[in-house]
Structure 1
Amino acid sequence: MAKTNYAFEKRQRDLQKKKKKEEKQKRKAENSSTQSEPTDVEQPEGDLPETDAGQGSS
């Protein structure tokens, strides 16, 4: 009877884990890039343009 090659099996499992992890990171990066686009358009509160509408210049 042939001996089981545990090193080969372990290597295959490790390759599958690595592939799955890379796919997950890729999906995560795609999701975060599509969600972050609208937030890039927003301006921080300190950089808002000043207006004379609320100052009552009568």
Structure 2
Amino acid sequence: MAKPNYSFEKRQREIAKKKKQDEKLAKKQAAKAAANPPPPGQDGPAGQQGE
């Protein structure tokens, strides 16, 4: 019978955990960016400035 490769299994668990953390961080950053709109005058339409 083959011997289990615990190092490989542990590495796979670490990779999955890091991927999940990265996805969670990206989701948090996207939500924060959506909640904080850019300051006026930088991203708005050019025709409405100075009215």
The structure with the largest alpha-carbon Rg is: 1
CA distance in 1, matches of 2:36, 2:17: 28
Ranges of 4+ aligned residues in structure 1 off by more than 3 Å: none
**Percent of aligned pairs with the same residue?**
47
Q: Structure 2: which 5+ residue stretches go unaligned?
A: 41-51
Give 2:14's aligned amino acid.
D
How far apart are 1:6 and its partner, in Å?
0.2
Higher relative CO (CA 8 A, sep ≥ 6), structure 1 or 2? Answer: 2
Give 1:31's aligned amino acid.
A
Report the secondary structure of 1:16's partner residue: helix
Give 1:36's aligned amino acid.
N
Give the CA RMSD over aligned residues: 1.4
Report the secondary structure of 2:3's partner residue: coil
Count, aligned residues? 40
Q: Structure 1: which 5+ residue stretches go unaligned?
A: 42-58
TM-score w.r.t. the length of structure 1 is 0.63
